[in-house]
Structure 1
Amino acid sequence: MDVLIVDDNPADRRLLKMVFKNVSDELTIHACSGGKQALDFLLRQGEHADAPRPQVCLLDINMPGMNGFDVLIAMKADWRLKAIPVFMFSSSDNDGDIQICYENHANGYIQKPMELVELENIARSLSNFCVNILRHAPPAVHLN
């Protein structure tokens, strides 16, 4: 199963990849450093022409340029991407941010934990959910 992590912080990306790798060998983690790169990956554009279509996306909110809200809105507006579950993964605990995410069809909101053990628990739970519980829509096919 392919998971896309979108976060502008390189340390957070490395840590997430490491933690997910440690808790599950059934996930392949891909990472993008910003919103534009994430959409290119998801739409298989430019250098990402051969990118796999992820079954789940973990999306940070606070990124320069195209932020997480922008990516979420773009994904949910695109018939090819809207079935991909998107979990917002942010340090923000602002009720307004959480509300905006759900109003724009985020599938969940996870606040980034402060402790490694909490991150491992989240990764383990999310991995279990993605691999054993979540059923995925087939790839979108455009019918004329």
Structure 2
Amino acid sequence: MAVVEMEELLTEKFILIAENNPEGARLIQEALNQNSMPYQILAIANGQELCDFLHRRGQYSDAPRPDLILLDLNLPDKDGKTILTEIKADPQLKRIPIIVFSFSDRAEDILQSYTLQGNCYVLKSWDAQHLFQVIKRIEDFWLKIVTLPIE
């Protein structure tokens, strides 16, 4: 039993980045790839495409289940709040931790994200060095300290 648990702990985590800015997605991926842990990372820039991926529709029929989602609020076709509502209403998806990762520091965006059951709200930074530090802290907490649900 202990061997199976250890193998599960050592498996590669899958991080889904929902980010409409290609440069922002690249920087987040670069920050995650700097670390010693291997991650499988996918960036999706469109809200509807993100929902298709999560619900395994169309070209995503064999899509893996993410261990963690970094969700921007400003996605085309479906915004982050709508997506957050859909994910948390779905019994198959609601246990996936979602970090709302946004430039918005508006109190109503923060409050609504928590009301919609986002697991945390993190402000993005335009400064690449600060962004890397924030991603490192997210990684340390969500991928090294927290025990994520295994589906």
When the two structures are superposed, what TM-score results if normalisation uses the length of structure 1?
Answer: 0.90
- Number of equivalent positions: 139
User: C-alpha displacement at 1:24, in angstroms?
Assistant: 4.1
2:43 corresponds to 1:31: yes
Contact 1:26 1:131 in 2 (8 A): no
Among candidates 97, 101, 108, match of residue 96 of structure 1? 108
Contact 1:5 1:32 in 2 (8 A): yes
Among candidates 111, 115, 135, match of residue 123 of structure 1? 135
2:95 corresponds to 1:45: no
Identity %: 34
Contact 2:73 2:81 in 1 (8 A): yes
How far does the alpha carbon of each residue in 1:116-141 deviate from its partner, in whole angstroms, 9 at most, with x for none? 121111111111223221112232xx
2:69 corresponds to 1:57: yes
Quote the Cα distance in structure 2 between the aligned partners of 1:60 and 1:132: 22
2:146 corresponds to 1:110: no
User: Which segments of structure 1 move beyond 4 Å, counting only runs of 4 or more?
Assistant: none
Quote the Cα distance in structure 2 between the aligned partners of 1:91 and 1:24: 27
Alignment RMSD (CA, Å): 1.2
2:19 corresponds to 1:10: no
Unpaired runs of 5+ residues, structure 1, are 140-144
Unpaired runs of 5+ residues, structure 2, are 1-12
Contact 1:5 1:30 in 2 (8 A): yes
How far does the alpha carbon of each residue in 1:3-24 deviate from its partner, in whole angstroms, 9 at most, with x for none? 1000111111111111211134
User: Counterpart of 2:8?
Assistant: none
Secondary structure of the corresponding residue to residue 138 of structure 1: coil
User: C-alpha displacement at 1:43, in angstroms?
Assistant: 1.6
Contact 1:19 1:123 in 2 (8 A): yes
Secondary structure of the corresponding residue to residue 23 of structure 1: coil
Paired amino acid for 1:21:
N
Quote the Cα distance in structure 2 between the aligned partners of 1:58 and 1:131: 12
